[in-house]
């Protein structure tokens, strides 16, 4: 099938590349001319394992093209995906201006019946707004062309996006007509060979499914962080508690790891937007509000531990703190809402210097913060430790899990670790004479 994807970010680029990989003829269009130029030069603007190969393979085969030409993109295909950003506006609601701008572009150029597929995460009712916008623009052109608007939210995880897209747990299709369902069935046929992973539903349910999924996952994280904070105060060990509760299949082990709170481009904004959707219709949703509040507090806990260990915020002035991990989770360079940012900015505010290392997010971090006297991006994880007063682990990259502790001790000014992801074993660090703080466990001295 011929397909057009609006937006070449994490979702649009992965969607376009993977749909081309299963045999569709895909055009990806973006308003960011620089991004399209980089893609046309064979560069992948984001870090996503496996993506470069899929893109290169399909560009070479002629099944994947990148353009800024909107008219060409609209005329290319019967199916038009909207995969542009939906960032929060000032009120916390999802800002639909990019989604509606795409609807307008499609309406201006379409001259045949189209299926418009909303893949962006959008509040319930957005597909109706897309439909109204299309109808309005077509009406302005004196056209009464028919079209369908489908909700097809995306569930890929950054860091594993290609694999998630090619082997989805489920494909959610919210459609109102048989025609739209048939088109979507054919489009996703290659993913349903072993068993049908598609769940068809009405458009509003599909839109809400995406928010419900993210809110549920965020709830698990805030829940375990709440229990971790209690464990610490009560003299319990959250890792024991985690194993104890995860053994119950109704709870399970997934997504109950204590840490520094969730970040990234999805959970924070989606939980906020769901809360906003509730308040817009006059519904009090205390659980959603609490998930967000717990998370915001959790992002500050590691700084509080550092500050209180050194004897207060003012004692941090002039100290050098090494940070391992910047991205909001491993295997991505996405720094949006990363807990490391909250920590680093608090350290700067206290007058400390930060020396940081991340396997892939250094360029993005440099782009965000620019040159500063109190910030160094180290060339590797060990050189980040040179004469630092403490190490803080912010992201649980595999390469941080089994480091050479002797080398670390030689490089650091003090054998002091604040572990925001519980990746080290307290007993071992105690034996080797470290001072070690983690999440939801007693510190060791």
Binding-site sequence positions for NAD(+): 30, 35, 86, 121, 158, 269, 336
CA-based nearest residue to 121, from 84, 149, 146? 84
C-alpha span between 228 and 241 (Å, rounded): 9
Q: Is 322 among the residues that bind ligand NAD (CB under 6 A)?
A: no
Choose which of 22, 101, 377, 413 interacts with ligand NAD (CB under 6 A): 101
Q: Which of residues 2-41 bind ligand NAD (CB under 6 A)?
A: 6-12, 29-32, 35
Q: What angle do CA 230, 432, 405 make, to 5 degrees?
A: 95
User: Least separation, in Å, of the C-beta of 128 and ligand NAD?
Assistant: 17
Choose which of 121, 209, 295, 422 interacts with ligand NAD (CB under 6 A): 121
N-terminal to C-terminal alpha carbon distance within the chain = 63
Q: Is 158 among the residues that bind ligand NAD (CB under 6 A)?
A: yes
The DSSP output letter for 253 is S
Choose which of 21, 65, 154, 396 interacts with ligand NAD (CB under 6 A): 154
Q: Is 84 among the residues that bind ligand NAD (CB under 6 A)?
A: yes
Q: Is 117 among the residues that bind ligand NAD (CB under 6 A)?
A: no
Q: Which residues are catalytic?
A: 266
Tell me which stretch binds ligand NAD (CB under 6 A): 80-88, 123-131, 168-176, 346-354.
80-88
Residue 210 or 381: the one with the smaller Cβ distance to ligand NAD is 210
Q: How remote is the C-alpha of 404 from its chain's centroid?
A: 30
Residue 10 or 303: the one with the smaller Cβ distance to ligand NAD is 10
Spell out the residues 6+ positions from residue 238 whose beta carbon is closer than 8 angstroms to its own.
224, 227, 228, 231, 232, 258, 422, 439, 440, 441
Residue 6 or 418: the one with the smaller Cβ distance to ligand NAD is 6
The DSSP output letter for 393 is E
C-alpha distance from residue 238 to each of 50, 224, 235, 373 (Å) = 35, 8, 10, 38
Q: Is 83 among the residues that bind ligand NAD (CB under 6 A)?
A: yes
| Contacting positions for ligand NAD (CB under 6 A) | 6-12, 29-32, 35, 83-86, 98, 101-102, 120-121, 154, 156, 158, 265-266
């Amino acid at each position: 099938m011929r397909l057009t994807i609006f937006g070449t970010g994490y979702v649009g680029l992965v969607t376009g590349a993977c749909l081309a990989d299963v045999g569709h003829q895909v055009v990806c269009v973006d308003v960011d001319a620089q991004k399209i130029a980089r893609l046309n030069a064979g560069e992948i603007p984001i870090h996503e394992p496996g993506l470069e190969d899929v893109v290169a393979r399909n560009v070479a085969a002629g099944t994947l093209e990148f353009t800024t030409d909107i008219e060409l993109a609209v005329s290319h295909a019967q199916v038009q995906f909207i995969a542009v950003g939906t960032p929060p506006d000032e009120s916390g609601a999802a800002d639909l201006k990019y989604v509606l701008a795409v609807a307008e572009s499609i309406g201006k150029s379409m001259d045949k019946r189209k299926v418009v597929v909303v893949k962006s995460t959008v509040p319930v009712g957005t597909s109706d707004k897309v439909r109204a916008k299309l109808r309005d623009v077509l009406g302005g052109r004196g056209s009464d062309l028919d079209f369908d608007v489908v909700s097809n939210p995306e569930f890929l995880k950054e860091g594993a996006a290609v694999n998630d897209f090619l082997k989805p747990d489920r494909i959610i299709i919210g459609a109102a007509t048989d025609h739209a369902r048939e088109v979507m069935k054919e489009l996703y046929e290659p993913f349903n060979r072993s068993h049908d992973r598609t769940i068809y539903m009405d458009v509003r349910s599909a839109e809400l499914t995406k928010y419900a999924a993210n809110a549920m996952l965020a709830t698990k994280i805030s829940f375990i962080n709440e229990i971790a904070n209690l464990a610490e105060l009560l003299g319990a060990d959250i890792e024991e508690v985690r194993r104890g509760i995860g053994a119950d299949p109704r709870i399970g082990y997934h997504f109950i790891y204590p840490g520094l709170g969730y970040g990234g481009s999805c959970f924070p904004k989606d939980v906020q937007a769901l809360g906003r959707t509730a308040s817009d219709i006059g519904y009090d949703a205390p659980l959603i509000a609490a998930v967000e509040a717990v998370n915001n507090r959790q992002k500050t806990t590691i700084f509080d531990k550092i500050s209180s260990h050194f004897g207060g915020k003012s004692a941090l002035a002039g100290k050098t703190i090494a940070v391992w991990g910047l991205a909001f989770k491993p295997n991505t360079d996405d720094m949006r809402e990363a807990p490391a940012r909250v920590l680093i900015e608090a350290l700067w505010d206290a007058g400390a210097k930060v020396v940081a290392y991340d396997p892939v997010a250094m360029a993005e971090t440099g782009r965000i913060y620019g040159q500063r006297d109190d910030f160094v991006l180290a060339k590797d994880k060990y050189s980040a430790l040179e004469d630092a007063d403490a190490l803080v682990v912010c992201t649980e990259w595999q390469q941080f899990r089994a480091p050479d502790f002797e080398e670390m001790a030689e490089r650091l000014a003090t054998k002091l670790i604040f572990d925001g992801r519980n990746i080290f074993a307290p007993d071992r660090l105690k034996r080797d004479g470290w001072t070690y703080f983690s999440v939801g466990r007693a510190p060791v001295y």
